Amino acid sequence: MCRSIKPLRLPDRPATEQEIREAALQYVRKVSGYRKPSRMNEEAFNQAIDEIARATEKMLEELNPKREFSHGS
């Protein structure tokens, strides 16, 4: 139903707003079971995407930038 969410904490550049939003969309699709919600559920679906994208962006900003990257994370 949905692709794997790719890592957004990259060693060479910060994640873009679009990458963060796409990851949030994939997460909401997976958790909700909807590829596209009904009109009745569309507001809750979109609100969840917005909230997850904001939380993801905040987390990425707050993570210690000196952490070493590993391919298994």
Domain annotation covers residue 42: yes
**Which pLDDT tens digit goes with each residue over 12-67?**
888 999 999 999 999 999 999 999 999 999 999 999 999 999 999 999 998 876 65
Domain annotation covers residue 21: yes
65 within 8 A of 41, measured Cβ to Cβ: no
Please state the domain count of the chain: 1
Confidence class for position 11, pLDDT limits 50, 70, 90: confident
The parent domain of residue 44 ranges over 17-61
Domain annotation covers residue 52: yes
The pTM of this model reads: 0.78
Domain annotation covers residue 37: yes
Nearest by Cα to 42 from 56, 57, 29, 24: 29
Domain annotation covers residue 70: no
